[in-house]
């Protein structure tokens, strides 16, 4: 399927009408007056006199970027089998209060996302036909004045959509299809294709250099842990260096502190932070963003055998700080300790952000509507919150006060990895990570446990969302724009 841009209408087999609540219906749809009000996600199929299909799609009263993306995606996914080859959307009229680029990117992402197939390993599956087949075309009509901006938005959405699709496939893959090496292989292939460097630190080198926190989580698995280091460093880099660290647990049993069996199969998703980082690195390189971005993914499985780390064990992290393991199911923060340690020791970025599907507690606090944001830097907080509101990948700031430090106090080590308390678990995890940032002045932790896997139209159980890629790309672009203004 391809997206084509026009400044005048062309012949298509179907038209999609994007309608704000109580907006007058197009003339061809007057027959639906009274049956369609434009409520969010409301849809109605109307046939013209010539048999032409007209899909009416409601956006609600005040549509946002997220509204366009999800409403369009749901329509195209649900009607996938009925969609003809050529579909048109006219964007020359009202856009519900948004500018054309603001609307066009999520719209195209929604159309691309509507073609996603969660049945990754189903046998006998037919190849896509119709709109999502090779000859499918989306025809978008814009004014001549908007043409250049619209084409840029389409190109940008196509790049982001490809990265999201790749990360959806990785995150939705069962663990036997994606040991840590699979993440490494993907990163290496992406780096070669798009011009950024990738270094893989394997098990033996991790042991030689003392990445014992990462090794301790992975020592119960026959699939050795790895540290993936991606470095996009363009010659035209002018903005700050940004370091991104993503939790890459490709399956999490909880270790010796084993999880209940119910829903454990969803723990293939515990690499949502890694997916956000890997996807963002590829997008940054393909869009040629003018700033250096370094992505680090500590990748491992957390499973059980006779060699697995035990509760009460004390390990020495890469930075030399000792960790008492109270709960082996609090493993994400342990591997991030070494990922952050590598970043502050070898990269020393101007901005440091880690992302992880870290705690159920953040879901208890925020539900499935926002990720938790932890930082002591007000400027960084504002920039990330703005990017989240812009993309619909929202964040909500939670405290990082030193009053919570007692949760880390260990009798035998520098820190412990779990407080044992049934309260403020997300904050305690953030305070743990803070220990391994070397007091970085512009560090933020994003707990995305409620956002990286969600209920969607793609399947009957929770599946991946590729959350974080659009958020981080918007954040990076904001930094680049600020740097350009500062130099101007």
Q: Which residues are the active-site residues?
A: 259, 333
* Residues contacting residue 281 through CB under 8 Å, at least 6 positions apart: 187, 190, 196, 230, 232, 244, 293, 295
Nearest to 143 by CA among 94, 187, 102: 94
CA-to-CA distance for 356 and 333, rounded, in angstroms? 8
* Residues contacting residue 181 through CB under 8 Å, at least 6 positions apart: 223, 226
Known binder of ligand: residue 389? Answer: no
* Residues contacting residue 330 through CB under 8 Å, at least 6 positions apart: 257, 417, 418, 429
Provide the 3-class DSSP secondary structure of residue 16. Answer: strand
Whether 469 and 283 have beta carbons less than 8 Å apart is answered as: yes
Known binder of ligand: residue 331? Answer: yes
CA-to-CA distance for 238 and 180, rounded, in angstroms? 33
Both tokens of 407, joined, read 């949760």
Known binder of ligand: residue 185? Answer: no
DSSP 127: P
CA-to-CA distance for 352 and 443, rounded, in angstroms? 5
- The four Cα atoms 202, 203, 205, 210 give a dihedral, to 10 degrees, of 130
DSSP string, 327-377: -TT--HHHHHHHHHHHIIIII--SEEEEEE---SHHHHHHTTS-EEEEES-
Whether 290 and 234 have beta carbons less than 8 Å apart is answered as: yes
Taking CA atoms, 187 is separated from 147, 234, 467, in Å, by: 34, 17, 18
Label residue 243 exposed, middle or buried (CB < 10 Å: 0-12, 13-18, 19+): buried
Known binder of ligand: residue 411? Answer: no
Nearest to 400 by CA among 337, 444, 361: 444
Strand partners, 174: none
Angle at Cα 353 formed by Cα 221 and Cα 313, nearest 5°? 35
Known binder of ligand: residue 455? Answer: no
Whether 140 and 259 have beta carbons less than 8 Å apart is answered as: no
Backbone angles phi, psi at 47, to 5 degrees: -100, 135
Which residues sit in the known binding site for Mn(2+)? 247, 252, 270, 329, 331
Which residues sit in the known binding site? 247, 252, 270, 329, 331
């Amino acid at each position: 399927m391809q997206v084509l841009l026009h400044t005048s209408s062309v012949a298509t087999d179907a038209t999609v009408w994007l309608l704000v609540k109580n907006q007058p219906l197009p003339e061809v749809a007057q027959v639906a007056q009274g049956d369609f009000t434009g409520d969010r996600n409301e849809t109605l199929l109307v046939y013209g006199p010539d048999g032409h299909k007209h899909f009416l799609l409601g956006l609600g009263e005040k549509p946002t970027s997220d509204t366009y993306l999800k409403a369009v995606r749901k329509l195209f996914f649900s009607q996938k089998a009925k969609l003809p080859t050529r579909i048109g959307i006219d964007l020359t009229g009202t856009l519900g209060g948004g500018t054309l680029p603001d609307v066009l990117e999520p719209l195209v992402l929604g159309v691309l996302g509507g073609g996603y197939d969660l049945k990754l390993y189903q046998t006998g599956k037919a190849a896509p036909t119709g709109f999502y087949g090779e000859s499918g075309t989306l025809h978008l009509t814009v004014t001549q004045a908007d043409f250049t901006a619209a084409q840029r938005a389409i190109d940008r959405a196509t790049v982001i959509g490809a990265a999201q699709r790749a990360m959806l496939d990785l995150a939705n893959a069962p663990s036997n299809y994606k040991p840590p090496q699979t993440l490494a292989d993907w990163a290496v292939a992406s780096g070669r294709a798009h011009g950024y460097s990738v270094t893989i630190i394997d098990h033996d080198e991790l042991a030689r250099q003392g990445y014992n926190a990462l090794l301790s989580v992975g020592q119960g698995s026959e699939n050795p842990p790895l540290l993936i280091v991606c470095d996009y460093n363009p010659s035209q880099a002018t903005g700050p260096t940004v370091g991104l660290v993503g939790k890459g647990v490709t399956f999490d049993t909880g270790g010796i502190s084993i999880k209940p069996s119910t829903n454990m199969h969803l723990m293939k998703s515990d690499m949502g932070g890694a997916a956000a980082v890997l996807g963002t690195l590829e997008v940054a390189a393909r869009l040629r963003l003018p700033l250096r971005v370094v992505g680090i993914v500590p990748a491992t499985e957390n499973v059980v055998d006779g060699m697995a780390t035990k509760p009460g064990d004390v390990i020495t992290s890469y930075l030399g700080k000792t960790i008492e393991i109270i709960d082996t199911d609090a493993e994400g923060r342990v591997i991030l300790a070494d990922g952050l340690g590598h970043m502050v020791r070898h990269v020393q970025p101007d901005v440091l952000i880690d992302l992880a599907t870290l705690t159920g507690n953040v879901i208890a606090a925020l539900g499935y509507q926002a990720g938790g944001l932890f930082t002591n830097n007000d400027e960084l907080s504002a920039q990330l919150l703005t990017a989240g509101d812009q993309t619909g990948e929202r964040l909500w700031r939670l405290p990082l006060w030193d009053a919570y430090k007692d949760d880390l106090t260990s009798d035998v080590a520098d820190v412990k990895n779990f407080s044992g308390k049934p309260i403020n678990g997300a904050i305690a995890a953030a305070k743990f990570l803070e220990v391994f940032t070397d007091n970085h002045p512009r560090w933020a932790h994003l707990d995305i446990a409620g956002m990286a896997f969600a209920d969607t139209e793609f399947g009957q159980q929770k599946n991946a969302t590729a959350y974080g890629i659009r958020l981080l790309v918007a954040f990076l672009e904001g930094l680049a724009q600020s740097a350009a203004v500062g130099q101007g």
